[in-house]
Amino acid sequence: MPAESNPALLTDEPARPPRPTLRERKKERTRRAIRTEAFRLFREQGYNETTVEQIAEAADVSPSTFFRYFPSKDQVVLADDLDPVMIRAIERQPKDMTVLQAIRQATIESFAELSSYDFGFETERTELLYSVPELRGAVARELERNIDLMAAIAAKRLGRDADDFECRVLAGALTGAMLSQINEGPYDPDRILKVIDFVASGMKI
């Protein structure tokens, strides 16, 4: 899930985002070039051995430009571009759906939107995130952020506060359940749906 969620994505009336401007498309190309070159270098020489300066040079940008897009090297890995896609998909779901029903259907729709490139990139990103020991502290912060984001989504659909007990417990249970399956295939749609269904069933065993 960008490292910081966008509150504007949690508005009451979901709307199709406007077509990006030329400036926005150029910025997105630069951002993608930085991430693509960073992951190439991570594969070739290792995460710890790769410097910001090397990434910037490979992407044909200055280090200062790198930092305009990513505040640190670990944010290149942490930034989750699927957050906005998933949030919009959840907001499209009928209000009479339960929170987990909405998340389930949004998961199906979000995966349908992914290109093969983006699917492969997100799979590699997640595998790297959970395999590099130096990123463990960042992973813990990301886990907290995901719980906060999921609790906010649940609270919005239910008309409750984001710190509502049940919303936060649901968010924690779902996020923890997803995390438990990360080594089995972080972007396996069938496994993700299976996790959601199990949580929805009350986790009866």
* Cβ neighbours of residue 175 closer than 8 Å, sequence gap 6 or more: 143, 146, 147, 150
Classify residue 72 by its DSSP letter: S
Gyration radius (Cα) of the chain, Å: 18
Domain assignment present for 132 = yes
Cα separation of 40 and 185, whole Å? 21
Domain count, the chain: 1
Residue 161 — φ and ψ, nearest 5°? Answer: -80, 150
Query: pTM for this one?
Result: 0.77
Domain hosting residue 142, numbered range: 7-15+73-200
Whether 145 is in a domain gets the answer yes
DSSP type of residue 129: H
The CATH number of whichever domain residue 135 belongs to comes to 1.10.357.10
- Whole-number pLDDT of residue 12: 47
Residue 105 lies in a domain: yes
Q: Let me know if residue 28 belongs to a domain.
A: no
21-51: buried (b, 16+ CB within 10 Å) or exposed (e) per residue? Answer: eeeeeeeeebbebbbebbbebbeeeebeebe
Tens digits of residue pLDDT in 3-40: 444 444 444 444 555 677 888 889 999 999 999 999 99
**The pair of three-digit structure tokens given for residue 107, joined into one six-digit string:** 């998961």
Low-confidence ranges of the chain (pLDDT < 70): 1-18, 183-186
Query: Residue 63 falls within a domain, yes or no?
Result: no
| 52 within a domain of the structure (yes/no) | no
- Asked if residue 159 lies in contact with residue 95, where contact means CB atoms within 8 angstroms, the answer is no
pLDDT of residue 42: 95
Closest listed residue to residue 194, CA positions, set 73, 205, 181? 181
Is 87:153 a contact under the CB 8 Å cutoff? yes
Residues sharing a CB contact under 8 Å with residue 58, sequence separation 6 or more, in sequence order: 37, 38, 40, 41
> Which stretches of the chain are DSSP H helices?
22-45, 52-58, 63-69, 73-78, 82-92, 99-113, 116-129, 136-158, 165-180, 189-200
pLDDT for position 56: 97
pLDDT at 127: 85
Answer whether 115's CB lies under 8 Å from 175's CB.
Answer: no
CA distance 61 to 73: 15
Within a domain: 56? no
